[in-house]
C-alpha cells in the first residue's frame, strides 16, 4: 500500500511539474493587431492557462513574470481583480505575488476574502498560534480558501509578512443592503472599528452608473430617465457595496501607514477595482500612493484570445483567462440556479447580544 501511495504521489507530482514546465517553457508570446483590437498568437489551452498583458503604453505587451515584474514593483499598491473561483485567475494571483516577493521587496497581502473582525484570528495564524482549520473555521474563510488563497497566505507566512483582513463584516454589509444607511447607526460602539470611519457615496458618476446599471434588472429595475431616482432597493444595495469599498480602502491605507517600507497587493472581485473605480478611487481619496490595477478579462474564444480598447481602459494590466463553462441552459434550471446563488441571508440587523459576530 505504501509503495502504491508513493507511486501515485510521484505520478501526480510529475504531472503537475510537466504542466508547470509547459506553461513556463512556451516561447515568448506575441500579440497581433486586429480590426477589433488585439489577439494572442496562441490559444489559452485550459482553465489554468492565462496571459498577463501590460497595456499602460497603449501598445499591449505580454509580460513574462519569470523574467521581469515589468513595472509591477513601480506601484505602492497593486490590485489584482478576480473572477471568484476561476482556477487560472487564482493561479495568476499567486504567481504575480510570488514574483513580487522574489524581488526581495516586502509585500503585504490584503484580502477582500477576510473581514476586519477576524483580523486577530488571521494574525494568530500568521504567528503560528493556531492551525489552519482554526483559521478557516473561526476566520470564516471562503469555501475555496484551500485551492485559491492558501498559497498566497503561506507565502506571506513564510516571510513573516502581514496579511490584512480588509473587508467589512458580512452582517453589516447585508443589513445595509436590506435596510439602508440608517442601519449603520445601530452598529454597537465596540464594532464601529470594523467598518470605515467615513464613506464616499455619490449618487452619480461612473461607479454609481455602472453599479446601478448592473443591478437594475434584479433590484426593481432602472429608470430610463437619467434624472429620476433609482428604486430604493437599488440605492441600498449600492450603499452596501460602498461600505465594502470604503472599508477595504481604509484597511489598505492603514496597513501602508503601519508598514511604511512595504508595498501591498490587494485581492478583490474585479468589479471593486475595474477602471480605477470602487475601492481604488476611495483609496485615492485617502492616499497619494501609486496604484496599479490588474484586471481579468475572460475571453470569449479560448482558441483566439482577444481584447479591445474598452478592455484596455479597465486596468494597467489585463489578465487574459479562459472562459468558464456555461452554468445553466434551460429556463427551469436557471430558476433553481438563481435561488441557490441569490439566497437571502439571515442576519440580525438589530446587532443584538445573540449576534453571531459579537
Residue 9 within a domain: no
pLDDT above 70 for 217: no
Predicted pLDDT of residue 19: 43
Lowest pLDDT segment from 130-139, 163-172, 176-185, 217-226: 217-226
Residue 31 within a domain: no
First to last CA, the chain: 48
Residue 7 CA to residue 2 CA, distance in Å, equals 9
Predicted pLDDT of residue 352: 65
Q: Residue 259, class by beta-carbon neighbours within 10 Å (0-12 exposed, 13-18 middle, 19+ buried)?
A: middle
> By percentage, how much of the chain surpasses pLDDT 70?
84
Residue 345 within a domain: no
Residue 14 within a domain: no
Q: How many domains does the chain have?
A: 1
In this prediction, residues 37-41 reach a mean pLDDT of 96
Predicted pLDDT of residue 268: 98
For residues 324, 327, 329, 335, the Cα torsion angle rounded to the nearest 10 degrees is -150
Residue 116 within a domain: yes
pLDDT above 50 for 222: no
Residue 47 CA to residue 307 CA, distance in Å, equals 18
Residue 109 within a domain: yes
In this prediction, residues 148-170 reach a mean pLDDT of 98
Contact (Cβ atoms closer than 8 angstroms) between residue 139 and residue 121: yes
The conformation of residue 345, written as its DSSP 8-state character, comes to: P
Predicted pLDDT of residue 67: 82
Beta bridge partners of 267: 80, 111
Predicted pLDDT of residue 224: 44
In this prediction, residues 190-203 reach a mean pLDDT of 96
3-state secondary structure of 352: coil
pLDDT above 70 for 2: no
pLDDT above 70 for 302: yes
pLDDT above 50 for 17: no
CATH classification at residue 200: 3.40.50.11550
Give the residue with greater pLDDT, 97 vs 67: 97
Predicted pLDDT of residue 28: 44
Which residue do the cell numbers 458580512 mark? 170
pLDDT above 70 for 6: no
For residues 261, 266, 272, 274, the Cα torsion angle rounded to the nearest 10 degrees is 80
Predicted pLDDT of residue 335: 85
Residue 358 within a domain: no
Residue 10 within a domain: no
In this prediction, residues 208-232 reach a mean pLDDT of 60
Q: Kindly tell me the number of DSSP H helices and DSSP E strands found in the chain.
A: 11, 11
Residue 85 CA to residue 324 CA, distance in Å, equals 10
Lowest pLDDT segment from 19-23, 264-268, 347-351: 19-23
Give the residue with greater pLDDT, 3 vs 67: 67
Quickly state the pLDDT bin for 29 (edges 50, 70, 90).
Answer: low
Residue 187 CA to residue 347 CA, distance in Å, equals 13
Please give the order of strands across the beta sheet that includes 306-307: 31-33, 38-40, 306-307
Predicted pLDDT of residue 341: 77
Residue 89 CA to residue 353 CA, distance in Å, equals 40
Give the residue with greater pLDDT, 44 vs 216: 44
Predicted pLDDT of residue 221: 44
Contact (Cβ atoms closer than 8 angstroms) between residue 349 and residue 183: yes
In this prediction, residues 263-292 reach a mean pLDDT of 97
In this prediction, residues 318-330 reach a mean pLDDT of 94
Mean of per-residue pLDDT scores for the chain: 87
Q: Which domain holds residue 234?
A: 41-325
Amino acid at each position: 500500500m505504501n509503495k502504491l501511495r508513493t507511486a501515485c504521489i510521484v505520478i501526480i507530482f510529475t504531472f503537475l511539474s510537466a504542466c508547470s514546465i509547459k506553461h513556463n517553457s512556451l516561447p515568448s508570446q506575441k500579440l497581433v493587431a486586429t480590426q477589433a483590437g488585439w489577439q494572442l498568437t496562441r490559444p489559452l489551452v485550459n482553465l489554468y492557462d492565462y496571459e498577463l498583458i501590460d497595456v499602460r503604453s497603449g501598445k499591449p505587451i505580454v509580460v513574462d513574470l519569470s523574467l521581469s515584474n515589468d513595472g509591477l514593483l513601480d506601484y505602492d499598491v497593486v490590485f489584482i481583480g478576480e473572477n471568484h473561483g476561476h482556477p487560472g485567475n487564482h493561479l495568476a494571483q499567486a504567481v504575480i505575488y510570488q514574483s513580487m516577493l522574489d524581488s526581495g521587496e516586502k509585500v503585504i497581502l490584503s484580502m477582500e476574502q477576510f473581514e476586519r473582525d477576524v483580523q486577530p484570528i488571521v494574525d494568530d495564524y500568521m504567528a503560528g498560534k493556531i492551525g489552519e482549520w482554526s483559521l478557516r473555521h473561526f476566520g470564516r474563510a471562503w469555501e475555496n480558501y484551500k485551492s485559491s488563497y492558501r498559497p498566497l497566505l503561506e507565502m506571506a507566512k513564510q516571510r513573516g509578512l502581514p496579511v490584512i483582513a480588509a473587508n467589512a463584516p458580512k452582517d453589516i454589509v447585508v443589513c445595509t443592503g436590506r435596510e439602508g444607511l440608517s442601519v449603520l447607526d445601530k452598529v454597537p460602539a465596540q464594532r464601529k472599528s470594523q467598518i470605515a470611519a467615513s464613506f464616499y457615496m455619490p449618487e452619480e458618476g461612473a461607479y454609481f452608473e455602472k453599479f446601478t446599471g448592473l443591478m437594475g434588472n434584479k433590484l426593481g429595475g432602472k429608470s430610463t430617465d437619467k434624472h429620476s431616482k433609482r428604486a430604493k432597493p437599488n440605492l441600498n444595495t449600492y450603499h452596501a457595496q460602498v461600505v465594502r469599498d470604503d472599508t477595504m480602502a481604509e484597511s489598505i491605507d492603514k496597513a501602508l501607514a503601519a508598514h511604511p517600507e512595504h508595498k501591498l497587493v490587494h485581492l478583490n472581485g474585479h468589479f471593486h477595482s475595474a477602471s480605477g473605480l470602487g475601492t481604488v478611487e476611495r483609496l485615492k481619496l485617502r492616499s497619494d500612493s501609486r496604484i496599479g490595477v490588474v484586471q481579468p478579462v475572460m475571453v470569449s474564444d479560448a482558441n483566439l484570445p482577444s481584447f479591445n480598447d474598452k478592455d484596455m481602459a479597465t486596468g494597467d494590466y489585463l489578465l487574459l483567462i479562459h472562459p468558464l463553462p456555461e452554468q445553466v441552459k434551460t429556463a427551469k434550471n436557471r430558476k433553481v440556479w438563481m435561488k441557490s446563488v441569490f439566497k437571502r441571508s439571515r442576519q440580525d440587523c438589530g446587532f443584538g447580544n445573540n449576534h453571531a459576530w459579537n
